[in-house]
Chain A
Amino acid sequence: MARKTVVPFGPQHPVLPEPIHIDLVMEDEKVLEAVPNIGFIHRGLEGLADKRDFNELLYVVERTCGICSFGHGNGYVQAVEKIMDVEIPDRAKFLRTIWAEIARMHSHLLWLGLQADQFGFESLFYEIWRIREKVLDLLELTTGGRLIFSVNKIGGVIKDIGDDKMKAILTNMSSIEKDMRVVQKTFMGDYSVQSRTKGIGVLTKDQIHELGAVGPVARASGISRDMRKLGYDGYGMIDFEPITSVFGDCFARIDVRLREVFQSIDIIRQAIDKIPQGELSVNVKGNPNGEALVRIEQPRGEAIYYVHSNGTKFIDRYRNRTPTFANLPALCEMLKGANYADVGMMVVTIDPCISCTER
């Protein structure tokens, strides 16, 4: 029997944009066990709840993560609104939907690029990030920020998207859609992509259930679970179905995310079509008192926001369960028995967002 060795992976590693450390117990080229070690980005953000009042805390919460910043803000304000029993205007709901979907596109494109980079397809990586800049341009146009844009507030949103900007979004969507069709063809049809991803890191439906994975990882294994179906924001008034695949391997996860980009384009079109005129926000008075739990669908999967408040300006506890945290057990399961050359691929395939996870 071959000797066992422990190979450290990370925290600083070329395939990783973010630090995570995994100890890989290896026998020859096979991974026997993977032991993750996190905490490199832990800041203690939830602890700021007793130093910042509940309005200011929003800006801290948005900086949980720069990729899904809008979603975090959205989850937090929804929780506070639920406690204070505030019903926000319909226009604000639709605006939130539009921004959330643009942010989802930006996140998925980012991931697709990193995945392409991971298996050494540099030109595809660059092409996708070129397309992604168009998405960021839209965010900058409508909110003023590229990644962190603080447009939510408790009781609604603070900015409107005018008609001319809506038109700009639609024009850009068409051009992004055209570009993405080419990218999709490359991803789905290229021989080298298939040889690196097909049949790698397979998770069955039962395994996903057992490990509690969420988001595209779960959907790629055939579980049709999408929190947007709960109908928060404007999603209740929009027509869409969760995108799934049955294969559960790395290739299926690419496929699901690619199709979700098109789904987002579709949702944005519907939202722009259906958005009503009206107020942007309602006046909110007083302090929150009580607790609420909100589930929303982030680009990486289901995220949970919990707020417990006591009637003062400062809330007692803010808690956040992020999708990557739920996907880490799935990753460790996937890594067991994997080839060393595929480790980077598998780590990237769950779309790890470490700074959300560690906060």
Chain B
Amino acid sequence: MGKVKRSPWLLHYDGSSCNGCDIEVLATLTPVYDAERLGVENTGDPMQADILLITGGINEQNAPVVKQLYDQMPRPKVVVAVGICACTGGIFKDCYNIRGGVDTTIPVDIYVPGCAARPQSIIDGIIKARDLFQKRSDEHDEYEKTHHGGAGEEKING
């Protein structure tokens, strides 16, 4: 129906990563790997973000922060766990302060393995997240149409 596809915005948060994955996420966004050519943009503001890229596991102190960031993001949203730490807790799984992967606290959609995750696989994760985001926003629009009689903008116009 010629609907303009939205460019999802990325929010990047460093859970308790060792920085390895963290830097690779940044490297992915800089010109050599240039994830922005896929139509995503990096933002620092959770309220404008659609995709949450999160590195590192969850510990007692950052769990509320992660939860808050997730809640602040508008729906629909997609969460990508980057690196083995974010997927399962990784090498730090047995540490006393680590709860485990990100999915112990918020729902995760896409898991990107690797220690450190390579830019290529992060790009792969971003592409998957973008497609999933598109699917979810379509579903969201569909839901709005059937339950509330059309999406917001149509109501205003007509």
Contacts and interface: CB of A to CB of B under 8 A. Distances in A.
Interface of A: 11-14, 17-19, 39-45, 47-48, 51, 59-60, 63-67, 69, 110, 113, 125-126, 129-130, 132-133, 136, 145-148, 353, 355
Interface of B: 13-24, 26-27, 30-32, 44-46, 56-57, 59, 61-62, 65, 69, 91-92, 94-98, 115-116, 118
B94 A51 contact: yes
Contacts of B14: 17-19, 41, 355
Given A11-B62, A41-B56, A126-B31, 5 more contacts: A40-B16, A44-B96, A59-B91, A66-B21, A147-B23
A139 B152 CA distance: 52
Main DSSP-derived SS at the A contact region = loop
Contacts of B97: 42-44
Given A17-B26, A19-B14, A63-B91, A40 B65 contact: yes
Given A48-B94, A110-B23, A148-B115, A40 B18 contact: no
> Which 7 A-B pairs have CB atoms at the shortest separation, nearest pair first?
A66-B20, A14-B44, A66-B19, A44-B97, A44-B95, A129-B30, A41-B16
Contacts of A132: 27
B69 A12 contact: yes
22 contacts: A12-B44, A12-B46, A17-B14, A19-B14, A40-B65, A41-B17, A41-B62, A43-B57, A43-B92, A44-B98, A48-B95, A51-B94, A60-B91, A66-B17, A125-B30, A126-B30, A129-B27, A130-B30, A147-B20, A147-B23, A147-B116, A355-B19
Among A13, A40, A113, A136, max chain B CB count under 10 A is at A40
Contacts of A47: 95-96
Among A11, A60, A67, A147, max chain B CB count under 10 A is at A147
A45 B23 contact: no
Contacts of B20: 63, 65-66, 69, 147-148
B65 A66 contact: no
Contact of A42 (B16, B26, B116): B16
A67 B65 contact: no
A65 B18 contact: yes
A97 B31 CA distance: 30
A43 B19 contact: no
A67 B16 contact: no
Contacts of B16: 40-43, 355
B18 A66 contact: yes
Contacts of B96: 44, 47
Contacts of A39: 61
A42 B14 CA distance: 12
A146 B19 contact: no
Given A11-B65, A43-B57, A147 B24 contact: yes
A17 B55 CA distance: 11
Nearest to B72: A12
Nearest to B116: A147
